Amino acid sequence: MATLREIQALVHGVLRRETALDAGALALGVRADRLGIYRGFVAQHVTGILAKLYPTVRALVGEAAWDELALAFFREVPARSWELNACAEPFAAWLDGRVGDGGLHPFLVPLAQVEWEQFAVALAPVEIPDPAGLDRLVLNPTTSALALPYPVVRFLVDRGDDVAALSPATPMPDPGDEVALLFRRHGTHHVGYHQAGDDLLFALKVVAEGVPLVAAADLARVPVARGEAALRRAVAIGLLLGPVESALG
């Protein structure tokens, strides 16, 4: 009679697709078709969560190639977390290793990074202070900044979040550096994503260094009015929280 460990090792081999289904079923003395139910489910949990978290990558890759890609990820990257979504986090890094062979466009890698970050920011276990209760400007604590080799935010904004309109025929953008800023809005929990242009970077600098607007504007050689407009925009989109007036003096 097999021990508990031996039985679990046999099942594991089948679920991880390291052992053939029929051979595993025979060794365990179970029906192969029934064991196959688990084999299918365990892979589908991972491929399903990839499809949920990376809808844009999926649309650009196309259905057939995507299915192959997702199953390859399941085989090559064992799920190391009890939290199913977390098992999909290594997808962008894994994709990076496959660029070049198989015709994968390098744009898909930073795109996957942004799609993951949208999820991570939405559910980050961080409390966002109520802006109405603040007496000075602070950075939204959910903010994540990604330095990317492709203009992913530009691509997403231009497409208007319309995943259905994307296909393998959609032209990929040319390379170009971009800093993407993602953060969750207070109250609505909506995740905003923005290209960090000069104005938002200036606003971040004012808050990070805690210098008054006039001094920061002088240092950056930016007209004060433009600096103030940058701060107001950062507050309007939810990147900065609190009263703009606190930075004006």
Partner 1 sequence: MTATAFDELPFLGYGIGLRRTHFDTLPAWLERFDFFEVLSENFMAFGGRPREVLRRVAAARPVVLHGVSLSIGSVDPLDESYLDALSGLIDEVKPRWFSDHLCLSSFEEVDYHDLVPLPFTEEAVAHVAERVRAVAGRAPVPFLLENPSYYIAYRDSEMSEAEFLREVVTRADCGLLLDVNNVYVNAENHGYDARAFIDALPLERVAQLHMAGHLVLPDVIIDTHGAPVVPAVMDLFRYVLERTGPVSTLLEWDHDIPPIDVMARELDAIRTAGREVLGDVAPDGVVGGEEATTWRR
DSSP labels, 138-159 = EE-TT-EEEEESS-HHHHHHHH
Instruction: Show the site string, 187-206: x = touches partner 1 by CB under 8 A, - = not.
Output: --x-----------------
> What is the CB neighbour count within 10 angstroms for residue 70?
22
End-to-end CA gap in the chain: 80
Identified binder of partner 1 from the candidate list 79, 99, 229, 248, rule CB under 8 A: 79
Identified binder of partner 1 from the candidate list 22, 68, 76, 83, rule CB under 8 A: 83
CA distance 12 to 187: 44
Scan residues 169-188 and list those touching partner 1 (CB under 8 A).
184
Please state the closest distance from residue 4 (CB atom) to partner 1, in A.
5
Scan residues 2-41 and list those touching partner 1 (CB under 8 A).
2-5, 7-9, 11-12, 15-16, 28-31, 33-35, 37-38, 41
CA distance 62 to 198: 36
Q: For residues 203 and 239, which CB has a smaller minimum distance to partner 1 in the complex?
A: 239
15: its two tokens: 């679920």
Q: Is 46 in the site for partner 1 (CB under 8 A)?
A: yes
The two most distant CA atoms of the chain are separated, in Å, by 81
Segment near partner 1 (CB under 8 A); pick from 106-114, 119-127, 154-162, 226-234? 119-127
Identified binder of partner 1 from the candidate list 126, 172, 224, 236, rule CB under 8 A: 126
Please state the length of the chain: 249
Identified binder of partner 1 from the candidate list 23, 51, 71, 86, rule CB under 8 A: 86
The identity of residue 28, as a single letter, is L
CB contact at 8 A, 205 and 220: yes
Q: Is 82 in the site for partner 1 (CB under 8 A)?
A: yes
- Kindly give, in sequence order, each residue whose CB lies less than 8 Å from that of residue 122, ignoring residues fewer than 6 positions away: 184, 189, 191
Enumerate binding residues for partner 1 (CB under 8 A): 1-5, 7-9, 11-12, 15-16, 28-31, 33-35, 37-38, 41-42, 45-46, 78-84, 86-87, 122-127, 184, 189
